[in-house]
Amino acid sequence: MSDLDGLAVIFDLDGTLVDSEPNYYEATRQMLAGHGVTDYTWAVHERLVGISTLETVMLLRDRHGLRPPVAELLAETNRRYLELARTRTRAYPEMRKFVELLAAEGVPSAVASGSSPEAIEAILAGTGLGAYLRTAVSADEVARGKPAPDVFLEAARRLGAVPADCVVLEDAAPGVAAAHAAGMRCIAVPYAATQADLLTTADLLLHGGQAEFTARAAYDWLTSL
């Protein structure tokens, strides 16, 4: 019997399980450049970490007065992103260890992400994490993206878990807010150090981000609940 009996773990994908933000930045930069916007910087992108691709495209379309419809810009961004994601996405080593440790202990685990179903599938397949994380929910499959709780509640439903028994791992403020709105506990591993102060409502906040996260420490924290 596992020390984690009754618990379920739900992972955000981008910036939490894998370092995909450079790919999202490049895909978004390429899309905007194709429509005449050439000043999209990493600093601007970093402020958008944590919201869905759809919401990012909508915001940037309005900000820059782009004429193509949102659906067209979203499809272009996703196409460019998928080309990068299939071969250039790196899983964080300690997160991979944590996923494997949970699987070995029989702990139900899932992914809940603002990315498209195609992007989630490509990343899980390309990194090999799909062998352990067979349940995945995209914000495209629910009514509202983060900070609404919909993706996390749907992940819990598919796992057959009660929300109060779920622990979420997140890297950005919208995800932490979504976890709490879902009635779940949250471990925050900030993608950007500058965002740590926005994640103080998390049940466990690792100010140092991925450099501070270890699979064993996360496991020990879960067993203390």
> Contact at 8 Å (CB) between 35 and 66?
yes
Beta bridge partners of 188: 170, 205
Between CA 12 and CA 14 the distance in angstroms is 6
DSSP state of 133: -
Q: Which of 12, 14, 150, 171 is catalytic?
A: 12
Q: Are 12 and 4 in contact (CB under 8 A)?
A: no
Give the integer Cα–Cα distance in Å for 116 and 138: 6
Q: Which helix H or strand E contains 95, and what residues bound it? A: helix 93-104
CB burial of 38-57 (b: ≥16 within 10 Å; e: otherwise) equals eebeeeebeebbbbbbbbbb
3 is catalytic: no
Residue numbers annotated as active site: 12
